[in-house]
Structure 1
Amino acid sequence: MLDRRVRKTKESIKHAYFSLLAEKPFKDITINQITEKADINRGTFYLHYLDKFDLRDQLEDEVMRELEEALQDRKYPQVDVNLEQHSTQLIEIILQVIINHKEFFNVTLINQDAGLPQKFSRIIRSYVQSNIDLPEQLNIVPIEYYFAFIVNAQTGLIKEWVKNGMQESKENIAKYAFTLAYNGPLKLMHQHLKEQQH
């Protein structure tokens, strides 16, 4: 009974916090505003969190743990055997975590107009590096720029999907992400222009 009450209280705090984030920047949110919206007293809040920064960090860590566990639990085909299947499965795992934490990503990506949390990107990069022996650069591109381009491009696609209410399936979004990453936006546009000329 106590565990259920604690869970219910923490859920109320979380929803109140996300509701406030949809209205104003993090720096303008106060503990009083959170507790008032959650309909609890300050003492109850401090039973679970040190301050609003601890609340933010705990909610973010919850998402990161789920992502790490999901990546570890899934068996992927080898990259060099089936690149498309490996990539789309990886993207689907990431999208499922975002679906599971829709409220979190709505406020961070849309209302707060931020990118994916740095920890989120670091976990994905760490996973990729542990499965693929990457050189310091690919062709003429240093690996840091390669990752920066991929991460920011995929974040833009995910952000658009979240902004549109996640209406399309994660499978479709994963296909879009792979197609854009594999073929490149300029190559896709060039192919389209060539087809129009014939």
Structure 2
Amino acid sequence: MDTDPAARFVVISGCSGGGKSTLIDELAKRGHAVVEEPGRRIIADEIVRGGAALPWVDLAAFAQRAIEVALQDRKHAARRSGWVFFDRSLVDAVVALDHVSGERHAEPVCHAHRYHTRVFLTPPWPELFDNDADRRHDVGAAIEEYDRLRDAYPRLGYEVVLLPKIPVPARADFVLDFLGAHAN
């Protein structure tokens, strides 16, 4: 495996409610290092401390926090060995900030902090989509976000691999087979 830590940092991104976190949990059960989604951690922290950096209150502040968290996650992940699977990435956070601000931040930040060249995207899967206390947007907003990410990753030099709509264990096998990681 490449000695550059970024070559070991595999992103699982895509449509909200498409099964990313469930796939990440399966990869963790199989012994792989994982990094939980920054957004969920930020929401939990903001609610506890009464903050406003919540996607439904101040999306720009939320995206800024997600960028900070994603950068810290990369730093901590560099200490791990083997594949490290990220539930979303710095790219997701910067694309959200670009969307809400109407400015372009993605290229310089994302080129300076790379991940594995292949990014796995969960496509929209409306049958799985479910709201909860932290996911207050509807499936239409989730699909719009997916479209932005599907366009951004290749523009930033990543190869996008769409995850098939198959059961979670088979999805994990698909990712690991694609990476050739079963032996690791």
Report the TM-score, using the length of structure 1 for normalisation.
0.25
Between Structure 1 and Structure 2, the one with more helix by share is 1
Report the TM-score, using the length of structure 2 for normalisation.
0.26
Flag the structure with larger Rg: 1
